[in-house]
Amino acid sequence: MPINIGYLGPQGTFTEEAMDMWIESQKHDTINKHNRIEYSSIPKLVNALAAGELDEAVVPVENSLEGSVNVTVDMLIHEVNVMIKGELVLPIRQCLLAKENIPLRNIEEVFSHPQALYQSIGFINDRLPQAKTRETLSTAEAARIVSERGERTAAIGSRRLAGIYGLNILAEDIQGNKNNMTRFYVLSSNDAARTGRDKTAVVFSTENRPGSLFNSLGVFASRNLNLTKIESRPSKKMLGEYVFFIEVEGHREDGVLKQALETLKQHAGFIKMLGSYPVFRDDVLFGKGNGKRDSVLLQKRKEAFEKLVYGPVRKAYPPAGGEESV
């Protein structure tokens, strides 16, 4: 039967790319097919999943340069009861896009999502000092606006958007940091089964007294369980009161972690399980070949992915839009 999967649209967003990665990793499922459904905001997307309109939803949760996507984290903590069943990591390579192949000095406005503008601020200040920045809801919306307005405007977004909206790539890898990666959650009504290489996400609160957080985290340290993430978020009850969002290595059904979580209940005033899920690995996308021909094809796909993720970011910007290289 079909699986309805939602993503943050419109077409061409990095979230759509992450969703495609997830669907690719599920190719072993030859019975169920995925119906892709786009949503205009993260709250609409997550609420649709919680309401049963979707079977799965792909949402951004963390960027290596800017930290957590707070709207995603806060919805999981406070507003919905859904589970994390998977994670994906996507390299973010930003490009400068325009309808015409124009010199950079002619660009008067640059449109993009606030995060993309921030990630590319060095390029903007260096190469587009005359241009005004304009915030949009997504990089895809920015590309659409530029495709309609054309002259003297540019967008910042993925190479993929150039093909979708018929734009020229004036410059590539303008994000200024080769380690610009975004992590995504795959949400559903249930989390994932144990794989032996898992993580578990939990949110909890503690009493406002000395040592309470130390004692809570100690249940993991005393059992040699590694915390891969810890973050405080407002409780939304009163100023200065916080809850703690953590990710810990292991599956919630693993004996040691299961024991730690039971002990945590003794120290926590509130605890909410967000799910256990496999640690992202790029080889999950490729599986194992069923023969020599399959193995060759899978290896080529793996090499292409590794080149995308781990390939070097250019040290110098390429000649762009009618400008001659010096």
C-alpha pair distances (Å), 311 with each of 20, 64, 119, 184: 20, 17, 18, 21
pLDDT at position 283 is 57
CATH of 1-90+180-190, picked from 3.30.70.250, 3.90.470.20, 3.30.70.100, 3.40.190.10, is 3.40.190.10
The active-site residue out of 14, 184, 220, 286 is 184
Could you tell me which residues come within 8 angstroms of residue 192 by beta carbon, excluding any fewer than 6 positions away?
85, 86, 198, 275, 276, 277, 278
Which stretch of DSSP H or E encloses residue 73? Answer: helix 70-74
Catalytic residue among 182, 200, 204, 280: 182
Once rounded to an integer, what is the mean pLDDT over residues 107-120?
Answer: 92
Q: Which CATH number fits domain 194-285: 3.40.430.10, 3.40.630.30, 1.20.1050.10, 3.30.70.260?
A: 3.30.70.260
Q: How far apart are the first and last CA of the chain?
A: 58
pLDDT at 201 over 90: yes
pLDDT in tens, 76-112: 999 999 999 999 999 888 999 999 999 999 999 999 9
15 part of the active site: no
**pLDDT for 164 beyond 50:** yes
The answer on pLDDT for 325 being more than 60 is: no
**Residue 276: pLDDT band with limits 50, 70, 90:** very high
Are 95-179 and 194-285 in the same CATH fold? Answer: no
Q: Domain boundaries in the chain?
A: 1-90+180-190, 95-179, 194-285, 289-317
pLDDT value, residue 82:
97
- Of the listed ranges 114-118, 123-127, 310-314, the least confidently predicted one is 310-314
* pLDDT higher than threshold 60 for residue 168: yes
- Per mean pLDDT, which of 84-93, 169-178, 209-218 is the most reliable? 84-93
CATH superfamily of 95-179: Periplasmic binding protein-like II (3.40.190.10)
- The predicted model gives 60-89 an average pLDDT of 93
Where is pLDDT greater, at 296 or 222? 222
- Check pLDDT > 50 for residue 241: yes
Do the Cβ atoms of 178 and 312 come closer than 8 Å? yes
User: How does the average pLDDT of the chain come out, rounded?
Assistant: 85
Q: Is the pLDDT of residue 310 over 60?
A: no
**Residue range 246-259: average pLDDT?**
95
- Residue 28: which pLDDT band, with cuts at 50, 70 and 90? confident
Is 111 among the residues known to form the active site? Answer: no
Phi then psi dihedrals of residue 34, to 5 deg:
-100, 130
Contacts of 76 (CB under 8 A, 6+ apart): 46, 82, 84, 187, 201, 203, 274
SS3 state of residue 6: strand
Query: Is the per-residue pLDDT at 57 higher than 90?
Result: yes
**Taking the model in full, what pTM does it have?**
0.79
Residue with tokens 């759509």: 16
DSSP alpha helix (H) spans, 159-204? 159-165
Q: State mean pLDDT over 112-134.
A: 93
